[in-house]
Amino acid sequence: MKPTFWGIFLLAIFILRTVKMQAQGPPIYTGTPILLGLDGGGIRTFGKYISKENATAHVQPIAIPYNFTAKLQVGTIVPFVRKSPDGLGANSGLGDVVAFAKYLLFQKDGSGKTFRVMARVKETFPTAKKDEMPALGSGAYQTDVGLVGGYVSTKIGLYGEVGYNFTSDNLPDNLIYNLAVGLPLLPQQYPPKQLNVFLEFTGNHVTSQKQNTLFIAPGIQAILGRRLLFESGIQLPLTQDVPDGQKTNFIFLLGTRVLIF
């Protein structure tokens, strides 16, 4: 492993084991069953820089969720993509647009804590350009169904997500699995002013090809008032059972969420 990986990993473990926590925010990579606050009824955008062995890419999605009720959220994700393969010219433009819905299945609240389970579905449409290389999307319809669960208190947040992605045009399906632990560094206060750290694991298993990737993803998040959140994280590979030349070096994320409803 590279020293950079161990430095970030050990720092994240040290923070998660030693600080005293009093508040909580939504995870950076893993889904959350909490529909209120800065995870819903607003706009989320983040820049994602992807470094691979044979290419680099930049993705800038804009996500717009809307809470119809306390149990139902719908929304859309519009990504803008730029890909730069080694030895080829760069290509940029609109990626594959996503529509999604989340529905709360179970909720049990206690004093300063809650446990919730949510069903989610995402439909990806092949809206990216197909007549230029490199391709900016998969060129196929994708339907992702899954469950998101979480235990959230004023001291800790534990989140889990599992989903299955059905892909058309004889492309392989994917099993998605994520896990997150979130810990706040500041006392709970109102209006909210929080600094949270996360340690997440993000996995993807290509079912027909028996390929698997697993990343560790430490991150940090600042909540400034009721309507504004900033977050950043980095995904580093733990396991990559993929063909040579397609392995990922790292994925860096920097983004914001703004509550407007």
Q: Which of 138, 145, 140 is nearest to 164 (CA)?
A: 145
Q: Which of 130, 63, 144 is nearest to 97 (CA)?
A: 63
One-character DSSP codes across the chain: --HHHHHHHHHHHHHHHHS--------SSS--S--SGGGSSEEEEEEEEEEESSEEEEEEEEEEEEESSSSEEEEEEEEEEEEEETTS--EEEE--EEEEEEEEEEEEEETTEEEEEEEEEEEEE--S--SSSS-SS-SS-EEEEEEEEEEEESS-EEEEEEEEEEESTTPPPEEEEEEEEEEE-S---SS-EEEEEEEEEEEEEETTTTEEEEEEEEEEEEEESSSEEEEEEEEEEEEE-S-TT--EEEEEEEEEEEE--
- Residue pLDDT, tens place only, 143-186: 999 999 999 998 899 999 999 999 998 899 999 999 999 999 98
Percentage of the chain exceeding pLDDT 70: 88
Pick 250 or 41 by higher pLDDT: 250
Confidence of residue 69 (pLDDT cuts 50, 70, 90): confident
- Residue pLDDT, tens place only, 75-116: 999 999 999 998 778 899 999 999 999 999 999 999 889 999
Q: Which two tokens stand for residue 3?
A: 């020293």
Tell me phi and psi for residue 147, to 5 degrees. Answer: -125, 145
Domains, the chain, in order of start with CATH, read 3-259 (2.40.160.40)
- Residue pLDDT, tens place only, 224-233: 988 899 999 9
- Residue pLDDT, tens place only, 15-35: 444 333 334 789 999 999 988
Q: Which of 185, 165, 183 is nearest to 174 (CA)?
A: 165
CA distance 120 to 122: 7
pLDDT at 21: 35
Q: What is the mean pLDDT of residues 45-57?
A: 94
